[in-house]
């Protein structure tokens, strides 16, 4: 039986309680179907990391953990991945900070990972690489003679070709993409952007069935919208009302309506813009003052990256200004917390909220939108207000779809959501639930892996696809 070999920037080894993070939840069922290996960064920094990973066996999965040097971490992770690729992929080219040293570090870590991984591979392993930290990995593996099927899943948006082309190194990365047999993105919009980029920027030829050809390589580029563990999330939401933190929130709210936002503290999520939309809603609807509370949960993320520290300051300024100018004794309009809540509490808070505000400026998919819908009480569901720039908007067309840059439009949607009839809320919610049911997380993993298995294997090792050139 083939093994599934997952490669991702961070490896999520289940802890003593068996708790699992986002990608681990997504891959749980895939690892039920295949025995597996999960390879990637341990999250640790060492002065002289070992060339081979530390192996940890847990059930059907073996975890292979690589340490990085602090320079690796700085250049590969905080630098090129999070200060150049992340903003560019999210259309924020003004925030992109390219450095040749960071790019060289990114390529170096990918090469180190490839040579450590190559030694662990068996001929019929299916290799599934995740996310923008590891775009060059397949190219490096091919150059070491690896001929296995290799798939890549890109969890964030793929921008229009003219945006991606602004990034130095972008054509090398597009060439590297061609070393994969299957490239998955969340939406057809992203797939189309990537296919156009491959044709326009590196001269790939597009064949029927969305297969791109360059030299002796053929890559299929296709949308596979990620889903959630619907049943698991619903069960957590059903049980949630007994949780002390949820009860405390219910007591604190009194008769006020709750609006909720949940996001990593990231500039792609549109948090200060959302706060200003809520401010606009309160100014336009003075009768709502004191009758509604907006809770924003925003766990801090990537705080070592300067743009994130700057965002944190901007959010605090906006929050202070709005609460200071519109708050009253006994009522704070926006409650803002940066700690991480346990998943069952999150499910309970979603369920309490009359409105889920999910208004990213750009997002590959956005799982919060799906979790909010899943957590609702079927007899009295809340309303999802969703940015047209989240991948989720392509599927959840029964949400109130908004342009997150238009504060008046978002404010109006909040007003409509709070006044929507029960009948319309149930109608919209039921239709969204159908999609969440038919395209849940196990559907996502199995449809991706079936497509990867169906790709033809292309003979012996190919010549190396050159991606370096700037490695020093
Ligand atoms: C990337 C792409 C794509 C948040 N706060 C808490 C908490 N969370 C959980 C949410 C959700 C997850 O984090 C966030 O997922 P998103 O999809 O919303 O966003 P990213 O982290 O940016 O993920 C995105 C995703 O990859 C998958 O492909 O959808 O577009 O950017 O599950 O619930 N979880 C807990 N406590 C919190 O306080 N337990």
Q: Torsion-angle region of residue 314: left (phi > 0), alpha (psi -120 to 50) or beta?
A: alpha
**Helices 367-374 and 230-239: angle between axes, nearest 10 degrees:** 50
Nearest to 177 by CA among 133, 139, 126, 209: 139
Report the DSSP beta bridge partners of residue 466: none
Same domain, 318 and 195: no
For residue 390, the ligand 1 atom closest to its alpha carbon is 30
Residues 221, 288 within the same domain:
no
Contact indicator for 384, 399 with CB cutoff of 8 Å: yes
181 Cβ inside 6 Å of ligand 1: no
Ligand 1 site, residue 363, Cβ cutoff 6 A: yes
- Same domain? For 172 and 320 the reply is no
> What is the residue range of 346's domain?
230-438
One domain, residues 254 and 206 = no
| Collapsed DSSP state (helix, strand, coil) of residue 189 | helix
- Rounded-to-integer distance, Cα 28 and Cα 14, Å: 11
Q: Cα(325) to centroid of ligand 1, in Å?
A: 31
Whether 223 and 248 map to the same domain: the answer is no
> How many domains is the chain partitioned into structurally?
2
Mutate to test the pocket of ligand 1, among 8, 87, 262, 349 (most ligand atoms within 8 A of CB): 262
Q: Which atom of ligand 1 is nearest to the CA of 157?
A: 30
The answer on 452 and 338 residing in a single domain is no
> Based on the domain organization, do 88 and 12 belong to the same domain?
yes
With a 6 Å cutoff on the Cβ, whether 331 touches ligand 1 is no
Q: What is the 92 CA–ligand 1 centroid distance (Å)?
A: 20
Ligand 1 pocket member 341 (CB < 6 A): yes
Q: Is the CB of 25 under 6 A from ligand 1?
A: no
Identify the H or E element spanning 10: strand 4-10
Q: What is the CATH number of the domain that holds 42?
A: 3.40.50.2000
**Rounded CA gap, 138 and 144, in Å?**
10
What are the pLDDT tens digits along the chain (472 aa)? 789 999 999 998 887 665 556 788 788 878 888 889 999 999 999 999 999 999 999 988 999 999 999 999 999 999 999 999 999 999 999 999 999 999 999 999 999 999 999 999 999 999 999 999 999 999 999 999 999 999 999 999 999 999 999 999 999 999 999 999 999 999 999 999 999 999 999 999 999 999 999 999 999 999 999 999 999 999 999 998 889 998 898 888 889 999 999 999 999 999 999 999 999 999 999 999 999 999 999 999 898 889 999 999 999 999 999 999 999 999 999 999 999 999 999 999 999 999 999 999 999 999 999 999 999 999 999 999 999 999 999 999 999 999 999 999 999 999 999 999 999 999 999 999 999 999 999 999 999 999 999 998 764 444 444 444 333 3
Please give the distance, rounded to the nearest whole angstrom, from the Cα atom of residue 96 to the centre of ligand 1. 22
Residue 379 and residue 449 share a domain: no
Judgement on whether residues 449 and 393 belong to the same structural domain of the protein: no
CA of 214 to the centre of ligand 1 (A): 35
| Token couple for 374 | 């899943």
Active site residues: 155, 363
Question: Does the beta carbon of 340 sit less than 6 angstroms from any atom of ligand 1?
Answer: yes
pTM here is: 0.95
Do 179 and 65 sit in the same domain of this protein? yes
Cβ neighbours of residue 424 closer than 8 Å, sequence gap 6 or more: none
SS3 413: helix
What distance in angstroms lies between residue 371's CA and the mean position of ligand 1's atoms?
10
Residue of minimum CA distance from atom 19 in ligand 1: 366
CB 72 within 8 A of CB 109: yes
Residues 219 and 258 in one domain: no
Residues 429 and 408 in one domain: yes
Residue 274, burial from CB neighbour count under 10 angstroms (0-12, 13-18, 19+): buried
Of 211, 131, 146, which Cα lies nearest the Cα of 178? Answer: 211
Q: Is 376 helix (H, G, I), strand (E, B) or coil?
A: coil
């Amino acid at each position: 039986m083939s093994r599934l070999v997952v490669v991702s920037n961070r490896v999520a080894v289940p802890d003593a309680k068996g708790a699992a993070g986002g990608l681990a939840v997504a891959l749980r069922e895939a690892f039920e179907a295949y025995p597996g290996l999960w390879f990637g960064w341990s999250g640790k920094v060492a002065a002289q990391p070992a060339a081979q990973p530390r192996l940890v066996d847990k059930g059907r999965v073996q975890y292979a953990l690589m340490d990085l040097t602090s320079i690796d971490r700085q250049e590969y992770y905080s630098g090129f991945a999070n200060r150049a690729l992340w903003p560019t992929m999210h259309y924020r080219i003004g925030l992109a900070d390219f450095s040749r040293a960071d790019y060289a570090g990114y390529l170096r870590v990918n090469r180190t990972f490839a040579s450590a991984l190559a030694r662990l591979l068996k001929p019929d392993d299916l290799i599934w690489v995740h996310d923008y930290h590891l775009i060059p990995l397949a190219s490096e593996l091919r150059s070491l003679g690896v001929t296995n099927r290799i798939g890549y899943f890109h969890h964030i948006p793929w921008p229009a070709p003219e945006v991606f082309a602004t990034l130095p190194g972008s054509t090398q990365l597009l060439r590297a993409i061609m070393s994969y047999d299957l490239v998955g993105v969340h939406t057809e919009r992203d797939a189309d952007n990537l296919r156009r980029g491959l044709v326009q920027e590196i001269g790939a030829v597009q064949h029927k069935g969305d297969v791109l050809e360059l030299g002796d390589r053929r890559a299929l580029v296709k949308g596979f919208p990620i889903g959630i563990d619907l049943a698991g999330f619903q069960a957590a939401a059903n049980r949630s009302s007994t949780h002390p933190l949820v009860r405390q929130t219910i007591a604190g709210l009194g008769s006020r309506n709750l609006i909720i936002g949940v996001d990593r503290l990231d500039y792609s999520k549109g948090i200060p813009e959302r706060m200003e939309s809520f401010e606009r809603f309160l100014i336009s609807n003075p009768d709502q003052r004191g009758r509604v509370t907006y809770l924003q949960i925003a766990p801090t993320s990537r705080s070592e990256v300067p743009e994130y520290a700057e965002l944190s300051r901007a959010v605090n300024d906006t929050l202070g200004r709005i609460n200071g100018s519109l708050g009253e004794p006994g009522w704070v309009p926006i409650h803002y917390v940066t700690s991480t809540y346990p998943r069952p509490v999150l499910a309970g808070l979603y369920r309490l909220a009359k409105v889920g505000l999910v208004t990213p400026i750009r997002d590959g998919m956005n799982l919060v939108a799906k979790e909010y819908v899943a957590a609702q009480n079927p007899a009295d569901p809340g309303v999802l207000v969703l940015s047209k720039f989240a991948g989720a908007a392509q599927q959840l067309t029964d949400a109130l779809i908004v342009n997150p840059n238009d504060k008046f439009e978002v404010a109006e949607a909040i007003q409509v959501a709070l006044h929507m009839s029960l009948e319309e809320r149930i109608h919209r919610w039921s239709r969204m639930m159908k999609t969440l049911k038919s395209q849940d997380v196990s559907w996502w993993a199995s449809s991706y892996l079936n497509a990867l298995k169906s790709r033809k294997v292309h003979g012996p090792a190919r010549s190396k696809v050159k991606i370096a050139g700037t490695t020093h």
